[in-house]
Amino acid sequence: MKLNERSLAFYATCDAPVDNAGFLYKKGGRHATYHRRWFVLRGNMLFYFEDPASREPVGVIILEGCTVELVEAAEFAFAVRFAGARARTYVLAAESQAAMEGWVKALSRASFDYLRLVVRELEQQLAAMQAGGCPPPPRRPRAILPKENGCAVWSAELPATPPVSNTDARPGPELPLLPPRQQTSVPSRPLDTASFAQLHERYGQEIRALRGKWLKSQARP
């Protein structure tokens, strides 16, 4: 399958703050040897480089649909698994307990789906608040000129209007930002039926369970 690799490499190495970064040992696909690589998590993609100064990633693990669990392959090891018989499982190992926990947490919540659920939840909360008789402060839609590489969000001022995305300058839309999900042409997704709270609780349970298991394994003499 073709992929816009040049753009992907650019996204991997741009200046914006990353969601997590650090050295991890990655178990080779065919052989049992671990390679130490510099990992960078950005959005729902986990890039890995030879070292922090590399200009281009060796590879990327697209995290959509993955689960993360602790494994006993090595100390501080965890696995990124995908459903499906032929999907490859990635075994990674951190260099400390804290690093491992940080990575497991970050990777478990890295999916676009998860983020979208959080955003929808907040969107609904805000809409409910505004409908509940609390008039929103008057806002004039104001064009926001995005900086070239879209990385401005971290260093730019907080926009006074909903963010304008991937576009030439034009006035931002009023709430709600996300289009209503009643398009008849799109099949409804199973995730729609689970509430955000349920899904978040499930993620939280998984993490607590993993942590419990790890602590128990550490308690052995």
Partner 1 sequence: MRYNEKQLQALSRQPAEMAAELGMRGPKKGSVVKRRLVKLVVNFLFYFRTDEAEPIGALVLEHCRVNREEPSGFSITFVEDTERKYHFQCCSENQCQEWIEALRRASYEFMRRSLVFYRNEIQKMTGKDPLEQFGISEETRFQLSSLKA
Interface with partner 1 includes 145 (CB under 8 A)?
no
In the complex, what is the shortest distance from the CB of residue 220 to partner 1, in angstroms, rounded to a whole number? 29
Residue closer to partner 1 by CB (options 166, 218) is 166
Q: How far apart are CA 109 and CA 66, in angstroms?
A: 10
9-48 mask for partner 1 (x: CB under 8 A)? xxx--x--x-x-----------------------xxx---
Q: Phi and psi at residue 127, in whole multiples of 5°?
A: -60, -40
Single residue of 4, 33, 184, 218 touching partner 1 by CB under 8 A: 4
In the complex, what is the shortest distance from the CB of residue 31 to partner 1, in angstroms, rounded to a whole number? 15
Interface with partner 1 in residues 51-70 (CB under 8 A): 56-62, 64-66
Single residue of 28, 36, 50, 87 touching partner 1 by CB under 8 A: 87
Cα 79–Cα 114–Cα 50 angle in degrees, nearest 5: 45
Q: Are 70 and 77 in contact (CB under 8 A)?
A: yes
Interface with partner 1 includes 122 (CB under 8 A)?
yes
Interface with partner 1 in residues 148-187 (CB under 8 A): 148-151, 153-159, 162-163, 165-168, 177-179, 183, 185-187
DSSP state at residue 189: P
Single residue of 8, 71, 73, 79 touching partner 1 by CB under 8 A: 8
Residue closer to partner 1 by CB (options 74, 161) is 161
Q: How far apart are CA 219 and CA 209, in angstroms?
A: 15
How many residues touch partner 1 under the rule CB under 8 A: the total is 78
Interface with partner 1 includes 112 (CB under 8 A)?
yes
Q: Which range of residues in 1-9, 32-40, 93-101, 213-221 is near partner 1 by CB under 8 A?
A: 1-9
Single residue of 28, 50, 75, 88 touching partner 1 by CB under 8 A: 88
166-175: long-range contacts at Cβ-Cβ below 8 A with a sequence spacing of 24 or more? Answer: 169/143, 169/144, 169/145, 170/143, 171/141, 171/142, 171/143, 172/141, 172/142, 172/143, 172/144, 173/141, 174/139, 174/141, 175/123, 175/126, 175/127, 175/130
Q: How far apart are CA 203 and CA 134, in angstroms?
A: 33
Residue showing tokens 């400390």: 96
